[in-house]
Amino acid sequence: MSFANQIIGGDIRSAARLIRDIEDEIPSAREELKNIYPHTGSAYILGITGSPGTGKSTLVDHIVRALREEEKTVGVVAVDPTSPFTDGAFLGDRVRMQRHSTDEGVFIRSVATRGHLGGLSRSTSDIVDVLDAMGKDVVIVETVGVGQDEVEIVRAAHTTVVVLVPGMGDDVQAIKAGILEIGDIFVVNKADREGADNTVREIEAMIERNSHADDTWRPVVVKTQANCNRGVSELLDMINKHRFFLSEGHRLSDLFEARVRERFLGELREMLLKRVLEKMERNGSFNKVVRSLAEKTEDPYTQAEKTASAVLK
């Protein structure tokens, strides 16, 4: 029996093995992903993003516990910084969320960014598909926490939660720089700190200044103290409200279509670039192009146009 059939049947070991093969870029993993793709699209994907030190992991831990109390199965993809020595995640599954390690209804996986920008790993969407296909009700994607580059999460999640803490001016600056547009829910964590109410007011003022049509979701702000589980139930209420909002009309199907469009374009870009570079390496033209650019006898724009034209002939 293939990994795909076992995963669709909910087998944890097969899912873990396929995820490992995905991260290691084993060619057979792509064939398994093709087989499980028709069985995806049922899980609700929750994105949790924010700067390091905001308490994202603690918040995720309590969200998982609350979802399990509702008898929902949960998958967690925790995207961590890459170790410069091993190319693996700095933080691992065993360090995170120990209370859920023996719960068969929870599958937690830490993955490394491996230099990929956007707050996500290259393999994140594929891993989400694996957890989706194995029947998880909710898949939580916790991003690496690199500030403005976190915008990629909005393409992967149904609901995006941006976590901030009082007293971190960088967070507010990041919102001004563009993260405001991706947040469906803003969480001011560690709300017992001085300045929490002021942070809430600043975020609400920024939301107010952005125009919101009557048929669009207006972002909300929730205060939490994740270390003592305060405000988590209110956060889940808001997540459910946003989910209900998306379920009206064709919003969920439109969101899914947008997500798969990005997936296709990403796969196409990567495959075309890989094949072009392989061909240029084989015939020796790559080094010649680089040399001509370094000597300024050619420009990168013309060279890119020539290469694209040659490929599309």
In this predicted structure, which of 139-148, 234-243, 287-296 has the lowest mean pLDDT?
A: 139-148
Identify whether residues 197 and 275 lie together within a single domain. no
Identify whether residues 204 and 285 lie together within a single domain. no
Identify whether residues 182 and 234 lie together within a single domain. yes
In this prediction, residue 117 carries a pLDDT of 43
In this prediction, residue 57 carries a pLDDT of 87
Does 15 reside within a domain?
no
In this prediction, residue 104 carries a pLDDT of 86
Identify whether residues 230 and 273 lie together within a single domain. no
Share of the chain above pLDDT 70, in %: 81
Name the domain boundary from 202, 226, 248. Answer: 248
Query: Residue 311 pLDDT > 60, yes or no?
Result: yes
Does 5 reside within a domain?
no
Whether 103 contacts 75, CB under 8 Å: no
In this prediction, residue 114 carries a pLDDT of 47
Q: What is the pLDDT of residues 207-266, one digit of tens each?
A: 888 766 677 889 999 999 988 989 999 999 999 999 999 998 788 888 888 888 888 888
- DSSP calls for 30-92: HHHHHHHGGG-S-SEEEEEEE-TTS-HHHHHHHHHHHHHHTT--EEEEEEEPBPTTTSSBSS-
Q: Which residue has the tokens 């209900």?
A: 244
Does 153 reside within a domain?
yes
Does 253 reside within a domain?
no
Its domain, for residue 273, covers: 262-311
Which range scores top for mean pLDDT: 14-28, 86-100, 155-169? 14-28
The mean per-residue pLDDT over the stretch 182-195 comes to: 90
Name the domain boundary from 218, 248, 278. Answer: 248
Identify whether residues 229 and 284 lie together within a single domain. no
Identify whether residues 294 and 195 lie together within a single domain. no
Query: Residue 146 pLDDT > 50, yes or no?
Result: no
User: pLDDT band at 148, cuts 50/70/90?
Assistant: very low
Whether 262 contacts 125, CB under 8 Å: no
Does 8 reside within a domain?
no
In this prediction the pTM is 0.84
Identify whether residues 293 and 190 lie together within a single domain. no
Identify whether residues 270 and 170 lie together within a single domain. no
Does 133 reside within a domain?
yes
In this prediction, residue 85 carries a pLDDT of 35
- Distant-in-sequence, close-in-space partners of 218: CB < 8 Å, separation ≥ 6: 207, 212
Name the domain boundary from 248, 279, 295. Answer: 248
Query: How many CA atoms within 13 Å lie on the side-chain side of 261?
Result: 7
Does 139 reside within a domain?
yes
Identify whether residues 237 and 275 lie together within a single domain. no
Distances 183 to 67, 108, 126, 269 between C-alpha atoms, Å:
21, 24, 23, 27
Identify whether residues 90 and 153 lie together within a single domain. yes
Identify whether residues 143 and 281 lie together within a single domain. no
In this predicted structure, which of 7-21, 25-39, 92-106, 128-142 has the lowest mean pLDDT?
A: 92-106
Q: What's phi and psi for 188, nearest 5 deg?
A: -95, 100
Identify whether residues 100 and 192 lie together within a single domain. yes
Query: How many CA atoms within 13 Å lie on the side-chain side of 133?
Result: 28
Q: Pick the residue with more confidence: 65 or 93?
A: 65
Does 294 reside within a domain?
yes
